[in-house]
Amino acid sequence: MPAISRGNRNRCPVPGTLYNTNTLEAFHALDKKSLLKEEANKIWEDIHNGRAVEDSAVLSRFLLISFADLKKWSFHYWFAFPALVLDPPATLVESKRASEWFTSEEVKSVSVACNDWRNSSLTADVPFFFISIASNSHATIRHLKDWEACQADNQKVLFGFYDPCHEKDPGWPLRNFLALISSRWNLKSVHFLCFRESRGFMDMESSLVIEALITAPQGLNDRQLVPNAVGWEKNKNKYVYRCINLATSMDPTRLAVSAADLNLKLMRWRALPSLNLDELSSVKCLLIGAGTLGCQVARMLMAWGVRKITLLDNGRVAMSNPLRQSLYTLDDCLDGGDFKALAAAKSLKRIFPAVEAKGEVMAIPMPGHPVTNQEEKSVVDDCSRLYDLVDSHDAVFLLTDTRESRWLPTLLCASANKITITAALGFDSFLVMRHGPGPFSSVHANTSSVDMENLAQTDKGGKRLGCYFCNDVVAPTDSTANRTLDQQCTVTRPGLAPIASSLAVELFVSILHHPDGMFAEGDITNSTSSSGGSEPPLGILPHQIRGSLFHFSQMTLVGHSSNSCTACCSTVVSEYRKKGIEFLLQAINHPTYLEDLTGLTELKESANSFKLDWDDETDDFDDDDDCVEI
């Protein structure tokens, strides 16, 4: 260990050994006798090799065995302060208060010398020393190595030590001091000063002066003959360990944070050294949709250490929700039902008080859902509010139950270049995907004269990954009108949402820990990782994960961005940046606007006008020679 800087009068360095076991059974199985003997051997060796004279703190060794149950904040521990036992033991001749043993002049001189010793940056934490008192009552304190300087005639010499005991008897450090004196200087009669303080100054009334007779034991100078040792601390007058439970005295929120962090720290310690817990705790996630998917995603994010979660929804908790949507209870359904976003945020805080959860109640403006003049101001406010929410978060999860409700968040994320994760459910199938970076991610946001084809490239030069709408050949429209009861309800197998939600969160965490982040290329199962030679800590990073409970199967796919995408192509994003709310109102009120803008209308007209010319001539297929096996 590096040398400890001196100068703090409130601290003395004490070397020791800590044995911390992994289980309570291992704690009980420790050989206490052998451990104490091992520490006593160290003290005996330091006495014989001279280290105890150079650094007297080694005489005060300690031993601590412990077991820490960090989940319950329960600690089992047992201290031992090894003390060598002289045989025969030293004989106490007399013990007096220092104020009675010294003369009045000596009291003043010794007090000044001791206080100076304690206040000096060079000696404050040296616990064993000599005190020599000249015939003129002048006291001098010296290091143990300066013993020869204390041998002048007509001088009183006392061995001093910092005494932690305030009873009538001296403290335990005296035992090992006696062993050192007996072995090193072979003295027969010794005077000790048990140095004690009161309010930062030497207290002559509580300090003791003790005279003891030492009979040198046989084999005292033999290193191999180590004296017996005592020192295990008693607990209620019994030699048993102590146990303390800190949980009852700690803030429940702090306990919850510590317990949650412990699991993640153990994960990092055992399997993922590169796990970035600071990034996970600071990242801000916006969950659009607080239904079946939103509830599960929120809980999975908290399990990964995400502490900043905002939920957006305008629905209320219905009687059918609590069974599938894990953040709600029956109480949330009463009196017309609480707003989902607010109830979900409140539930998250009940589950984990340290989470910074907020609920935002608002409707998402959607294409194909035209608005009247009276509603236009409200829609404009919602668009502005959604823009601010996307802009103030680092990642956005699209978890709504209609296709068109995902369009505006997708557009805003593409424009702001945010990490975007989509999860969508069928009856027994699901899709989880990450959106690629926005079309302007590698160029300045206001550039308008750039080759449009190049805007679909990522910073790494490859074609950027697509969004949720890139495979569509039609613009999103109103999918909620004229729906029957079975179409209004989310009809899906109950186990599907937890699977998709978990995959969505795992995909997000993998993005955070990938060296290329959201710019990473899409990996597929059994493929070489897109990160090059180094394997990412969490494995491959796919673009899309499609699964089926019917077949209990799952596959990874890659889909690149489309130049005609109604949500993320450069044409749409550029038009949005130029016209802002005017563009959004056009997309909301006119069903064909996005298709006309992106060229999908022209593409469909071309497809409809395409005719196949069939050969009307009939061929005789009876001749096997005209048949070709494929």
Of 245, 316, 232, 331, nearest in space to 34 by CA? 232
Q: At what angle do helices 570-579 and 407-416 cross, to 10 degrees?
A: 90
**Is the separation of the CB atoms in 288 and 281 below 8 Å?**
no
Instruction: Give the rounded distance of the alpha carbon of 297 from its chain centre.
Output: 19
d(CA 122, CA 145): 15
d(CA 304, CA 277): 9
Sequence-distant (6+) residues with CB within 8 A of 233 are 78, 79, 80, 81, 242
HSE at residue 562, side-chain half, CA atoms within 13 A, is 16
**Is the separation of the CB atoms in 209 and 117 below 8 Å?**
no
DSSP codes joined into one string, 472-539? -SS-----STT--HHHHS----TTHHHHHHHHHHHHHHHHHHSTTGGGPPPB-TTPPPTTTTSPPTT-
Question: What CA–CA distances, in Å, run from 431 to 289, 336, 461, 558?
Answer: 16, 32, 27, 12
Q: Reduce the secondary structure of 75-100 to three states and give it as a string.
A: EEEEEEEEEECCCCCCEEEEEEEHHH
Question: What CA–CA distances, in Å, run from 364 to 145, 195, 282, 367, 391?
Answer: 82, 77, 26, 10, 16
**Is the separation of the CB atoms in 418 and 288 below 8 Å?**
no
User: Could you count the other beta carbons within 10 Å of the beta carbon of residue 246?
Assistant: 11
User: Could you count the other beta carbons within 10 Å of the beta carbon of residue 73?
Assistant: 18
362 dihedral zone (left: phi>0; alpha: psi -120 to 50; beta): beta
**Is the separation of the CB atoms in 204 and 73 below 8 Å?**
no
d(CA 604, CA 359): 42
User: Could you count the other beta carbons within 10 Å of the beta carbon of residue 206?
Assistant: 19
**Is the separation of the CB atoms in 453 and 564 below 8 Å?**
no
Report the DSSP beta bridge partners of residue 66: 20, 77
Catalytic pick among 12, 413, 489, 627 = 489
Sequence-distant (6+) residues with CB within 8 A of 166 are 196, 206
Sequence-distant (6+) residues with CB within 8 A of 539 are 510, 529
114 is catalytic: no
d(CA 492, CA 498): 12
HSE at residue 164, side-chain half, CA atoms within 13 A, is 10
Strand order of the β-sheet with 189-195 is 91-97, 208-213, 189-195, 156-162, 128-133, 139-142
Q: Reduce the secondary structure of 415-482 to three states and give it as a string.
A: HHCCEEEEEEECCCEEEEEECCCCCCCCCCCCCCCCCHHHHHECCCCCECECCCCCCCCCCCCCCCCC
**Is the separation of the CB atoms in 97 and 208 below 8 Å?**
yes
Residues assigned a catalytic role: 489
